[in-house]
Amino acid sequence: MKKNLILSTVLVSVLMVSSCGSKEETKCAGVDNETIQTIMQRKSVRAFTDQAIPAEYMEAMLKAAMAAPTGSNIQPWHFVVLTDKSQYERVFENNFNMRIFNSAAAVVVFCADTTVTRPPRNNPDGAPVTRPNGTWRDDMGACTENFLLAAESLGLGAVWTAAYPYSERYASMKRELDMPDSVLPYCAVAVGYPANDEQPKDKWKPERIHFDQW
């Protein structure tokens, strides 16, 4: 018990003095790791240059998105990649993010099939049944973050804008992009080359970490 307490105290002290995520320095003390650096450098970017995104970059970001973990490995996602700004007024009806979308080289609508069709669990040879997918929101969150991190690592900027659960935002996306009944727009990610020098925010709060008990 006493040993645990000493260990916890040492760990908390290390975390407190660590420079990880501080304003001046997003490097984690003692850890030189490209993946962690990318995570710490990611920030929302809302203004972009006119430069187009290379097709292979878009594919790499979508591959990263589809590499995310999902409940029961269901992978509920579909993606609609938009670059034709002439359709934005219809697709993003009354959406207050329109200025961001219009500035971006592409807007990717992340869509989720909210149902899953599989043979019954207790009878793998039985006829497939359709049921709600209980984890689609979690799955889509993981997938969206992977996309944002891939964008950051490729020198692009991106911002996640919510669609679901706001029907006033997702209804026009669903309608204008002709999505099937069971599919919902989860979010719209604007992506492109950053116009400004946005910096990551300092969110490091060691006091939010609890060891062994609250």
Ligand X SMILES: Cc1cc2nc3c(=O)[nH]c(=O)nc-3n(C[C@H](O)[C@H](O)[C@H](O)COP(=O)(O)O)c2cc1C
201 in contact with ligand X (CB under 6 A): yes
Nearer to ligand X, 89 or 145 (CB): 145
Q: Which residues contact 168 (CB under 8 A, 6 or more apart)?
A: 94
Q: State which of residues 160, 176, 194, 204 lies at the interface with ligand X (CB under 6 A).
A: 160
Binding mask 69-98 for ligand X (x = CB under 6 A): ----------------------------x-
Nearer to ligand X, 146 or 161 (CB): 161
Assess contact for 191 and 157: CB atoms under 8 A: yes
* Alpha carbons 27 and 192: distance in angstroms, whole number: 25
146 in contact with ligand X (CB under 6 A): no
Binding mask 27-46 for ligand X (x = CB under 6 A): ----------------xx-x
Assess contact for 44 and 198: CB atoms under 8 A: yes
Going along 84-132, which residue ranges are E strands?
A: 106-113, 115-118, 129-132
Full 3-state SS string of 43-95: CECCCECCCCCCHHHHHHHHHHHHCCCCHHHCCCEEEEEECCHHHHHHHCCCC
Nearer to ligand X, 15 or 160 (CB): 160
161 in contact with ligand X (CB under 6 A): yes
137 in contact with ligand X (CB under 6 A): no
Binding interface with ligand X (CB under 6 A): 43-44, 46, 97, 159-162, 201
